[in-house]
Amino acid sequence: MKVKEIPGNFPFKVLNSSESADEKEIGSVYCCDLLSIAMSRMSEEAAWVTVMSNLNTLAVASLTDVSCVILAEGVAVEDNMLSKAKEQGIALFSTELPVFEAASMIGKAIAK
Amino acid sequence: MSDSIKLNYQITDEDFTRAGEASGDVKKRLRQMGCSPEVIRKVAIAMYEGEINMVIHADGGEIDVEITPEEITMVLKDKGPGIPDIEKAMQAGYSTAPDNVRALGFGAGMGLPNMKKYSDEMHIDTVVGVGTTVTMKVYQQ
């Protein structure tokens, strides 16, 4: 499944998208809010589901080359995060769903 | 050596908003140079953790990076409080990060352990009250 297949198929709101991120394949799902752990464990091409909503989340996403970031539990997103996601071309989504439910949906979709 | 590249980054204490820019820049350069994804990942993680440590504990500092065909050397120098007990600081889960830093997703006590894990060589020179210099190497072969 590619990142561009997320809009419309999941109850996620698109906060940022980019042409390059749209074409990325989602290979796995990863959940963790502690950045050091996420950074060392996430695989490239992961869909990262977290409630950690700040610029450092994007720095970690960029350094690890994850396919997209999904902010769960309806956490607030500040403008500087949106502009950074845009600047770095990182696919960013938000959802009211809890982390587990959001991750399960993606997990089921990529397991097909 | 002609095919060595030297880079210098000043790490400022700006509320974490710029942390990651130096490691991001090195990552981009390594990618342009065609380094292996594994090497790039190791350098990016080790250096980002170092950057964050400098911001959390030392109000910033300076990073020198040298890239040669054989290895990438990162020297992170700060004038922070120093590390009184390196052995303790190296323990996964041990952290002296303040609460405001934990709220940002750091402070898991994984910084130095990750730096050690993702570098092929790591050396810490630290003097309490003077500062800390961490030297890390990642081999290209």
pLDDT digit string, tens, across residues B14-59: 778 888 899 999 999 999 999 999 999 999 999 999 999 999 999 9
Q: Please give, rounded to a whole number of angstroms, the shortest distance from the CA of B79 to a CA of chain A.
A: 23
Q: What angle separates helix B21-32 from helix B37-58, to the nearest 10 degrees?
A: 160
Could you tell me which residues of chain B have a Cβ less than 8 Å from any Cβ in chain A? 16-17, 19-20, 23-24, 27, 37, 41, 44-45, 48-49, 52, 104-106, 108, 110-111, 114, 117-118
Distance CA A74, CA A89 (A): 22
**A39 and chain B in contact, CB less than 8 A:** yes
pLDDT for A104: 98
pLDDT of B85 over the 60 cut: yes
Q: What angle separates helix B37-58 from helix A55-64, to the nearest 10 degrees?
A: 160
pLDDT for B16: 80
pLDDT digit string, tens, across residues B66-81: 999 999 999 999 999 9
Contact assignment for B105 to A56 by CB distance below 8 Å: yes
pLDDT beneath 50: ranges in chain A: none
pLDDT of B1 over the 70 cut: no
Name the percent of chain B lying above pLDDT 90. 89
Q: Report chain A residues whose CB lies below 8 A from the CB of B106.
A: 34-36, 56
pLDDT for B44: 96
Structure tokens at B87: 């052995």
Q: What is the CA radius of gyration of chain A?
A: 12
Q: How far is CA B117 from CA A36, B78, B110, in A?
A: 12, 21, 10
**pTM of the predicted structure, to 2 decimals:** 0.91
pLDDT for B14: 73
pLDDT confidence band for B141 (50 / 70 / 90): confident
Domain B5-139, CATH class in plain words: alpha beta
Q: Which residues pair with A48 in a beta bridge?
A: A30, A69
Q: In terms of C-beta distances under 8 Å and separation of at least 24 residues, what long-range contacts does B85-91 make, across chains too?
A: B86/B124, B86/B126, B90/B116
The answer to whether the CB of B31 falls within 8 A of the CB of A65 is: no
The answer to whether the CB of A77 falls within 8 A of the CB of A15 is: yes
pLDDT for B9: 96
Distance CA A75, CA A54 (A): 10
pLDDT for B51: 95
Buried b (16+ CB within 10 A) or exposed e, B70-102: eebbbbbbbebbbbeeeeebbebeebebeeebe
What is the ipTM score, two decimals?
0.87
Three-state SS at B21: helix
Structural domains in chain A plus CATH codes: 3-111 (3.40.1390.20)
pLDDT for B2: 57
pLDDT for A112: 82
The pLDDT of B91-107, averaged and rounded, is 93
